[in-house]
Structure 1
Amino acid sequence: MAIDLDKVHIIRKALSFFSWYLSVRLIQRIGAIYHTLTYKATPSPKNVVVIGGSFAGVELVQRLVETLPTGYRVVLVEQRSHLNYLFAFPRFAVVPGHERKGFIPYDGMFTKAPEGIFKLVRDTALRLTDTHVVLASGESIPYAYLAVATGSTQPLPVNVSSLERDPGCRELQFVQESVKLAGSIAVVGAGATGVQLATDIKSFFPEKEVTLIQSGDRVMDRFGPRLSGYVMDVLQNELKVRVLLNERPNIPPKDGVLAKMTTLTFSGGRQEKFDLVLTSTGQRPNASILATLLPAAISKATGRICVLPTMQVTSYQASETSPGNSAAAPLAPHIFAFGDVAEHGGPMMGRAGAMQAEVALQNILAMIKAGNKKKNLATLKLRTYTPDWEVEGFLHLTLGRTHHLVYAMDTKKGTDLLMGIHNGTDDLDVGKFWKRYGADVKEVEGPAEGGEQ
């Protein structure tokens, strides 16, 4: 009965959120149509540069092309050929035939942008000056405002190292083949990605011995104990995945990108050999872009970029002594950071990145309107970000081929809500996200031949 009540509450929350979101988006679209009619391209526009074209960065760019005034344009600096749809990578690293769907082209994302307002620069940003982004090609891009949305680096199979789609697909295919050939598989790290990997492997290949290893005393320990208990029940009783808690084995150096035929040493000296070891740990923020210009902005504790609630970059010391204090002075008022690379106090999830992108957007627009004059900026009231855990912490987690769950927190009651669902598609219905970004997944459907994409 409790799960049924949860279902009612979750549906009610979802309907409330999407009603709000659709109304906001409708207003934004009407504004975008008017903006398209009034924006005029100019010979030498000032640049608002966004570094990083993953989910958070693209969200900001899409809003900037709808709102920037004449005399400004947005420049997206991105080193990858496609947007990597990381939510699906654990599945596509296990199940063959869908890997090309994990790479969404940028081509269709900005086709409706006014002429002259958008430029995509395919390059790697190496370092910053107070006025320019220096690229690996040797060129530099001047900027009036800068937003850093570089995310974090994660190892295969959570992400791929290749910057092009075709080699990236081959990396995922390599994992697929390794999983296929292995009889015993260890997955180290029982966060959302580790759980998805373990449950997908066991669901699609039930004959394999799968062991999920966690350093803490419960799986999914970033969320409430109720979620952990539900996931643990599915792992052990439904899928027969062996779970080892409070274990932090030393993983020997990998052969290439995966550890094969590896012996892990557990507490007490016990050793066990696995045909394949996959890791879902070691997430590293991509904050080095600020290391030269603003080294004090990089947190010594987490490696992320420290920001004020306005999303403006601040110093590590200021964020430690006065967390959430929007009155503290930014290190550089015209430089923003958000998403997984930033120390913002909210969940490291896609919805949070979108909310932070909107805060950065509104503040950039307000500063442009104020005319960049120090006197005006000093008295300017900027928008601030306050984490909304009920909305931004909303979790949709797959637990194998057809079992998945929806989890949400009810902060008013101090409880959480959980709903298990039994349905789903092998490709996680990724086509709807392609459509959202102006692309058609049918372009890449069908089996790959000979490993070529």
Structure 2
Amino acid sequence: MTLQATPPPKTVVVLGVAYGGIGALATLAKLLPAGWRVLGIERSTHAHHVYVFPRFSVLPEHAPRGLVPLVNAVYGGRVTPGPDIKPGKGAADASPGTEHELVRGVVTALTPTSVTFALPIDGEFPADLSGAEKRTVEFEYAVYALGGVLSAPSDAWGGGPGRDVVPGRGSKPGAVGFIRAIHDKIAAARRVLVVGGGALGIQFASDIKAANPEKEVTLLHSRARLLPLYHEELHAAVVKRLAELGVRTVLGERVLQWPERPLDVDGSDKTVTTDKGTTLTADLVLVCTGSKPNTALFEGVDAGAILPNGLIHVEPTLQVAGRRHWFAIGDSADSEGIFAGHESYAQGSCAARNVLRLIETREGREATPLEEYKAGPARIKVSLGINEYVVGTADGATSHDDGPADIHAKLMWSLFGVEDKGDDE
């Protein structure tokens, strides 16, 4: 009697395991049929809860709470209810070799059916990865969840033009060290200029001034109205609170000339010149002008799917246009909805459910039609000092004064299946 070899598992890859990737990874790990596995690839040991980074740059004792352990992400991550999916027979007791996995690596190259990633060198990722061990994995389906390149004051990775690589990047000590380094720069500066009036810039300016009333803090924004996606009451509430704190607000002026190294606090004046001829001088300039889509790697799959704005063009099902086995979510995709963590998570879950439907069809089982992603109502919460915050929607805005110093950062941990056992995890 000849024993037949067990065929190798078929693979779904999830590239990036943060707000969006965890939704895809957890759903697939729970519902993939036998003979399939999900492989998550994430460069950091801990997910970066970047929405609390401005606060923790002012109150660095809370910094560890903004780094979410990924140890339980595969089997413990939260799975939200969705349209019925029928797991294949044997999904609960997969064969050896089909175990789902999350590996730490930096994606270096993509093709339509493969991903190559570099492994860490002595626990971290230096600027030069030429000496790193690399692995290539073939896959049947992929979810692109690599997000965006963050504004420098919140980017605990670094590198790129005018940016130093963050020491220990990709590790929790490296990220905590980065947050503390931003705090030290803020502490050393007497005058701080925040450029960019999105939620990130508003939170930096208000938190810095609330915690350091003696500092000169200016918020500069290119538009006359803050957060225009929401009701005008939100703009009014933010401007009012900034004035109460003593933050100088300059609206409707765009930067034409930047200092060479805005994050350096070295005793020299950092000067910014606007299109209205205004000159602003500070010891520290925090550039909070938004993230940029992290989509350059997708050129190896289909450069034509990348729009002029850098986003990957997706169908309502979150499938990449012209690449039906690829999905793109979050800040990398031109999907419906705002760029926010909760939308990314919902998109990751939706993409995973659609992968499962495609597998059902592929394996000859009755499948439901693919799901079209529908964004929820636009809603935002913006901190305006240590305890104050405002919640804005399309219909209005409400102000509050009961926010905790750590902004309930650890509520995010449960999304990744982590029980709160302290800040040292």
CA contact (8 A) 1:214 1:244 kept: yes
Query: For residues 333 and 270 of structure 1, do their structure 2 counterparts lie closer, same or farther at Cα, with a shift above 3 Å needed?
Result: closer
CA deviation profile, 1:164-213 (whole Å, cap 9, x unmatched): 22122111111111111211111000001000000100111111111000
The CA deviation at 1:303 is 0.1
Query: For residues 202 and 256 of structure 1, do their structure 2 counterparts lie closer, same or farther at Cα, with a shift above 3 Å needed?
Result: closer
Query: For residues 177 and 140 of structure 1, do their structure 2 counterparts lie closer, same or farther at Cα, with a shift above 3 Å needed?
Result: same
The CA deviation at 1:91 is 0.7
CA contact (8 A) 2:232 2:396 kept: no
The CA deviation at 1:112 is 4.8
Given residue 240 of structure 1, which amino acid in structure 2 is its aligned partner? G
In the alignment, the residues of structure 2 paired with residue 169 and residue 80 of structure 1 have an alpha-carbon distance, to the nearest angstrom, of 12
1:263 to 260, 271, 274: 271
Q: Is 1:123 the equivalent of 2:100?
A: no
Equivalent position SS for 1:296: helix
The CA deviation at 1:418 is 1.9
Q: Is 1:181 the equivalent of 2:194?
A: no
Query: For residues 245 and 289 of structure 1, do their structure 2 counterparts lie closer, same or farther at Cα, with a shift above 3 Å needed?
Result: same
Query: For residues 243 and 159 of structure 1, do their structure 2 counterparts lie closer, same or farther at Cα, with a shift above 3 Å needed?
Result: same
Counterparts of residues 15-414 of structure 1 (less than 5 Å): 44-112=8-76, 116-136=98-118, 137-161=133-157, 162-236=169-243, 238-249=244-255, 250-254=257-261, 261-300=269-308, 302-314=309-321, 331-371=322-362, 381-388=369-376, 390=377, 393-409=378-394
In the alignment, the residues of structure 2 paired with residue 208 and residue 224 of structure 1 have an alpha-carbon distance, to the nearest angstrom, of 31
CA contact (8 A) 2:195 2:286 kept: yes
Given residue 235 of structure 1, which amino acid in structure 2 is its aligned partner? L
In the alignment, the residues of structure 1 paired with residue 393 and residue 41 of structure 2 have an alpha-carbon distance, to the nearest angstrom, of 34
In the alignment, the residues of structure 2 paired with residue 175 and residue 112 of structure 1 have an alpha-carbon distance, to the nearest angstrom, of 33
Q: Which residue of 2 aligns with 1:21?
A: none
CA contact (8 A) 1:213 1:244 kept: yes
In the alignment, the residues of structure 1 paired with residue 241 and residue 189 of structure 2 have an alpha-carbon distance, to the nearest angstrom, of 23
CA contact (8 A) 1:191 1:221 kept: no
CA contact (8 A) 2:192 2:217 kept: yes
Given residue 337 of structure 2, which amino acid in structure 1 is its aligned partner? G
Q: Is 1:425 the equivalent of 2:390?
A: no
CA contact (8 A) 2:413 2:419 kept: yes
Given residue 422 of structure 1, which amino acid in structure 2 is its aligned partner? D
In the alignment, the residues of structure 1 paired with residue 75 and residue 29 of structure 2 have an alpha-carbon distance, to the nearest angstrom, of 10
The CA deviation at 1:152 is 0.2
CA contact (8 A) 2:74 2:102 kept: no
TM-score (norm 2): 0.82
In the alignment, the residues of structure 2 paired with residue 148 and residue 440 of structure 1 have an alpha-carbon distance, to the nearest angstrom, of 27
Higher helix proportion, which one? Answer: 1
Equivalent position SS for 1:98: helix
Q: Which residue of 2 aligns with 1:318?
A: none
Query: For residues 444 and 158 of structure 1, do their structure 2 counterparts lie closer, same or farther at Cα, with a shift above 3 Å needed?
Result: same
CA contact (8 A) 2:330 2:347 kept: yes
CA deviation profile, 1:206-235 (whole Å, cap 9, x unmatched): 111110000111122332322111111111
Equivalent position SS for 1:333: strand
Given residue 296 of structure 1, which amino acid in structure 2 is its aligned partner? G
Given residue 23 of structure 2, which amino acid in structure 1 is its aligned partner? E
In the alignment, the residues of structure 2 paired with residue 418 and residue 336 of structure 1 have an alpha-carbon distance, to the nearest angstrom, of 34
In the alignment, the residues of structure 1 paired with residue 76 and residue 344 of structure 2 have an alpha-carbon distance, to the nearest angstrom, of 23
Query: For residues 380 and 429 of structure 1, do their structure 2 counterparts lie closer, same or farther at Cα, with a shift above 3 Å needed?
Result: closer
Query: For residues 365 and 264 of structure 1, do their structure 2 counterparts lie closer, same or farther at Cα, with a shift above 3 Å needed?
Result: same
Query: For residues 50 and 226 of structure 1, do their structure 2 counterparts lie closer, same or farther at Cα, with a shift above 3 Å needed?
Result: same
TM-score (norm 1): 0.78
The CA deviation at 1:267 is 4.1
Q: Which residue of 1 aligns with 2:166?
A: none
In the alignment, the residues of structure 2 paired with residue 156 and residue 242 of structure 1 have an alpha-carbon distance, to the nearest angstrom, of 22
Equivalent position SS for 1:370: helix
Q: Which residue of 2 aligns with 1:437?
A: 416
Query: Where does the alignment leave 5 or more consecutive residues of structure 1 unmatched?
Result: 1-41, 315-330, 410-415, 446-452
The CA deviation at 1:354 is 2.5
In the alignment, the residues of structure 2 paired with residue 251 and residue 224 of structure 1 have an alpha-carbon distance, to the nearest angstrom, of 31
